[in-house]
Structures are given as C-alpha cells and as structure tokens.
Amino acid sequence: MAAYSAAMRMLAMREYCTVELRGRLIDKGHAADAVTSVLNRLLADGYLSEERFAEVSIRSRVKRGETPRVAAMKARRKGVNETALAIALAEAEASFDADSACRELLSRRDPQGLYRGDSRIWQRHARFLQNKGFNTATILRVMNDTHEQFDN
C-alpha cells in the first residue's frame, strides 16, 4: 500500500510513463513485485496512461521550442510505449508549423536581432535551432526572411 500511495503522490505532480514510474518506485525502496501490482492497478484505474504521458511530453517540449520529432525522441528515451508515442507524434506533427515555431523561437532567443549584424551570432543561433530539431532549409528560410523583413 505504501508503493501505491507513493505512486499516487508522484502522479499528482505530473504524468509518468510506466517505465519511469517503475524505476522511481524501485529507487524509493519498494519491492519489485509490489511495484508491478501497483502499476497494473494504476493502469486499470486510468491513473497511469502511456497515451497521456506521450501527448503531454511532446506538447510541453514543443512549447519549449523543440520540433515534435525531437520531443518524441526524448520521450522514447524515457521508455514510453511506441504505439502511444506514434499516435501523439502524428497528432503533434499535424498541427505543427515549423516556420512559425522557428521564427518565434528565434525572436525569443534574440529579440533585438543581433544575429543580423554578426556572423558568429548568426551561426550560434543556427546551431541552436538545429539542436531543437529544425532542418537547415527551415532555418535558412526563417533567418533570411526575418533579415529581409527588417531591412525594408
């Protein structure tokens, strides 16, 4: 029962995938068989959901400026179910506009547009955007469009 209470406290804070919650409960010293029965109960009761975790994980990372593919890759590392992840990824990609997301992230990172006058800053921002998962064509299009917008 202690493992169930600990799991409920953790789930009250945020969503977890089954693998992540199992690891945390075992790290807290709960027996593996007790953890398995608790996880089965939580799944049956709907308190633990791989689909919900995948959706929330991708949505929160996209809000932080990552592309859905990078967000899904990071969720995969946590051990989320592949089927749930594929569904959440498809939904996120359907509503994702790479150009506007890239433009917004660039304007948050460099509100004064300093990259327009310094090639080192331009390269640093381009690497930053690549690390967030944007492809080179999108980065060049957005950085050059923004540059032309401010020149006129």
| Residues near 124 by beta carbon (within 8 Å), at least 6 away in sequence | 115
For position 133, what pLDDT does the model report?
Answer: 95
Q: What is the pLDDT along the chain (152 residues), one digit of tens a residue?
A: 899 999 999 999 999 999 999 999 999 999 999 999 999 999 999 999 999 999 999 999 999 999 999 999 999 998 899 999 999 999 999 999 999 999 999 999 988 888 888 889 999 999 999 999 999 999 999 998 754 444 43
- Ordered DSSP codes for 69-113: HHHHHHHHHHT--HHHHHHHHHHHHHT--HHHHHHHHHHHH-TT-
Q: Which pairs with CB-CB distance under 8 Å and at least 24 residues apart come from 46-53? A: 47/8, 47/11, 48/7, 48/11, 48/16, 48/18, 48/21, 49/15, 50/17, 50/18, 50/80, 50/81, 50/83, 50/84, 51/81, 51/84, 51/87, 51/88, 52/15, 53/15, 53/16, 53/17, 53/80, 53/84
For position 115, what pLDDT does the model report?
Answer: 85
The tokens describing 20, both together, are 């992540």
Is 0.85 topped by the overall pTM? no
For position 152, what pLDDT does the model report?
Answer: 39
